[in-house]
Amino acid sequence: MADATLEHAAVGHGAPGAYEAPLFGAYSKKVGMWLFLASDSLTFGALLFAFSYNRIYTDWPTPFHVASITNATIMTACLLSSSLTMVLGVFAAQRGDRAWTRNWLLATMAFGTAFIVLHGMEWTKLIGEGLALPGFPRPAGAATGELAEVSKNTPQFAATFFGLTAMHMLHVTIGVIYLGVVALRKLFLPILGAIWLAGFLLIPSDNVFHYGIHVLLIGLVLATVILFLKPKDYDAHDVEVSGLYWHFVDLVWMFIFPLVYLMSTRIS
């Protein structure tokens, strides 16, 4: 089996001396993750370019107020704390402390989930106030007010806001599922399934997340496939690699928060 081949071939997994020293002294999975992050930063880079391009050529509104900023600051704090717990998780894994690895990963997931929930509530509030894309389901009652005006006059504002933050939210969601698979393995599948079902049933159908929650269903299918096709115990390397991903997602937010929120705020 080629997989068995890989076990021997992959640097750091046996057959020492048969290969040239890896160029960056890293084992394949870690190199792979770094490369993925390189390409992903260009994917985000393109979105940020689209954002800046629109911003430069448009009379950009600054409709956000204290409430939004407070909320986004709490979200930022969640992500920052999650990076700390992630680091602690990686340390625990390197010490071989399985219990604390799991605990710290669960804490990271909790912060990540808090971020997503806060973000979702923020979206819902903004959409209710009229900041929406034409393709979104319309909540009951026509919104009036500044955000509704902004959507009408500068469609780029809502488009870039939702485009960038949705892409980031998707990454955080993938991150939570990824950590869940590493920390809990098959135990995570029923939990994920339950969250999806509860979300789908509880979120009203005029809310975008009624549909958006299906990302979890896709994640559930993928996680199931991975966990059943290649059942394995995740080691310290796997935890470290998942940590790379998590910190990257955190880092991206550190660009989005000032660009999308702080720079679109009016202090009255």
Partner 1 sequence: MATPVSVHAHAAPQGFIRKYIFSLDHKVIGIQYFFLALTAVFVGMFLSLLMRIHMIWPTAVLPIVGEIKPEQYLSLLTMHGTIMVFFVLTTAPQGGFGNYVLPIQIGAPDMAFPVLNMLSFWTTFVGFIVIIAAFFVTGGAPLHGWTGYPPLSAVQSAGPGEGLGADLWITSIAIFCIASLMGALNFITTTLDLRAKGMSLMRMPLTVWSWFITAILGLLAFGVLLSAGILLLLDRNMGTSFYVPLINVNGVMMGHKGGSPLLWQHLFWFFGHPEVYIAILPGMGVTSQVLSTFSRKPIFGYKAMVYAMLAIGFFGFMVWGHHMFMSGMSPYSAFAFSILTMCIGVPSAIKTFNWLGTMWKGHIRFDTPMLYAIGFVSLFVSGGLSGPFLAQPVLDIQLHDTYFVVGHFHLIMGVAAIFGIFAATYYWFPKMFGRMMNETWGRIHFFITLAGTYAIFMPMHYLGMAGQTRRYSQFTEVAYQTKLIPLQTFMTYAAIITIAAQFIFVINLFWSMFKGPKASDNPWEATTLEWTTTTPPPHDNFGGVTPVVHHGPYEYGVPGAPRDYVMQNDPATYAAH
| Residues of the shown chain interacting with partner 1 in the complex, contacts defined by CB under 8 A | 1-6, 8-11, 14-15, 17-20, 22-24, 26-28, 31-32, 35-36, 38-47, 49-50, 53-54, 57-58, 133-136, 154-156, 158-159, 163, 167, 230
| Cβ-based nearer residue to partner 1, 191 or 225 | 225
Nearer to partner 1, 100 or 136 (CB): 136
Cβ of residue 242: shortest distance to partner 1, in angstroms? 16
| Least spacing, CB of residue 14 vs partner 1, in Å | 8
User: Do residues 182 and 239 make contact, with C-beta atoms less than 8 angstroms apart?
Assistant: yes
Nearer to partner 1, 155 or 193 (CB): 155
Which residues, listed in sequence order, are joined to residue 265 by a DSSP beta bridge? 64
Phi, psi of 265 (to 5 degrees): -110, 140
Task: Name which of 191, 243, 196, 239 is nearest 216 in CA terms.
Answer: 196
Closer Cβ to partner 1, 170 or 197, answer by number: 170
Nearer to partner 1, 5 or 268 (CB): 5
Name the residue nearer to partner 1 (CB basis): 39 or 268: 39
Q: How far is the CB of 168 from partner 1 (least distance, A)?
A: 13
Cβ density class 146-155: b for 16+ within 10 Å, e for less: bbbebbeebe
Least distance to partner 1, CB of residue 133, Å: 5
User: Please, what is the minimum distance in Å from the beta carbon of residue 195 to partner 1?
Assistant: 26
Instruction: Please compute Rg for the chain using Cα positions.
Output: 21
Contact call for residues 24 and 31 (beta carbons, < 8 A): yes
SS (H, E, C) 37-84: HHHHHHHHHHHHHHHHHHHHCCCCCCCECHHHHHHHHHHHHHHHHHHH
Please state the closest distance from residue 123 (CB atom) to partner 1, in A: 14
Nearest-CA neighbor of 46 among 34, 54, 35?
Answer: 54
